[in-house]
Amino acid sequence: GNSVTQMEGPVTLSEEAFLTINCTYTATGYPSLFWYVQYPGEGLQLLLKATKADDKGSNKGFEATYRKETTSFHLEKGSVQVSDSAVYFCALADTGGFKTIFGAGTRLFVKA
Amino acid sequence: KAGVTQTPRYLIKTRGQQVTLSCSPISGHRSVSWYQQTPGQGLQFLFEYFSETQRNKGNFPGRFSGRQFSNSRSEMNVSTLELGDSALYLCASSLEGGLDGTDTQYFGPGTRLTVL
């Protein structure tokens, strides 16, 4: 079945450091891929998405490219801020099941 | 446009009780899904509704049920609460639920349920 695997956390970085959170997926076909972010005490916010191979999603300085050759959708940001501290979830659309399948989440701590 | 709203935001119940959670989707969205989030199991799909019909259900016991009204608002019910039901329950809405192309799920802030 469809699944998402993302790197375990927590990830701790200093402000202005480069961020990469790895995500790989297993799926039938080429589903849409997403990154969601969850700040403490809140629900999930859609950070970015890509709907087909080679698409690059981007938002708020974050980027991820849909790589079908490596079945990956790694999240990157060139310079993180303390306010980026949150849990990040990689996810894919299970269109036949009308649901989103999530990875386990990666907690990011950014130190000033 | 208002986002997905969920009520109540926090609930404390005791074992054996039942609880009803409510979700109002984004205007124009006809698909509503529910997820349970726990530290141990992560985000797990409960069920999805479209036009008042349940189209898919996750692997949860029959104590978990839901429904959708004609205005797309949805409720989920958990009967005979157990300690393990303590979780953040998230509601999400999308246009049609197909989740392809521009049809994306948007999440509410969640209802934090604590079972004592």
Residue B1: predicted pLDDT? 67
* Interface contact B33, partner A, CB < 8 A: yes
Tens of pLDDT, residue by residue over B32-72, are 999 999 998 999 999 999 999 999 999 999 999 999 999 99
CA B32 to chain A, closest CA, distance in angstroms equals: 10
- CA distances from residue A93 to A43, A67, A97 in whole angstroms, order as listed: 18, 16, 9
Residue A34 contacts B where some CB pair is shorter than 8 Å: yes
A46 touches chain B (CB under 8 A): yes
What's the pLDDT score for residue B99?
74
Are the C-beta atoms of residues B66 and B76 closer than 8 Å to each other?
yes
Q: Please judge whether A32 and B100 are an interchain contact, meaning their C-beta atoms are less than 8 angstroms apart.
A: yes
Q: What is the pLDDT of residues A39-66, one digit of tens each?
A: 988 899 999 999 999 999 999 999 999 9
Residue B40 or residue A19, greater confidence: A19
| DSSP codes joined into one string, A5-72 | EE--S-EEEETT--EEE-EEEE-SS---EEEEEE-TT--EEEEEEE-STT-EEEETTEEEE-BTTTTB
Q: A99 vs B45: CB contact, 8 Å cut-off?
A: yes
Helix residue spans in B1-116 (DSSP H): none
What pLDDT digit, counting tens, does each position of B94-116 carry?
A: 998 777 767 888 999 999 999 99
Q: What is the pLDDT of residues B5-25, one digit of tens each?
A: 999 999 999 999 999 999 999
A100:B92 CB<8 A: yes
How far apart are alpha carbons B94 and B90 in whole angstroms? 14
| Burial of B59 from C-beta contacts in 10 A (0-12 / 13-18 / 19+) | exposed
pLDDT above 70 as % of chain A: 100
Q: Do the strands B10-13 and B111-115 form a parallel or antiparallel pair, or are they unpaired? A: parallel
**Within the 76-95 window of chain B, which residues sit less than 8 Å (CB to CB) from chain A?**
90, 92
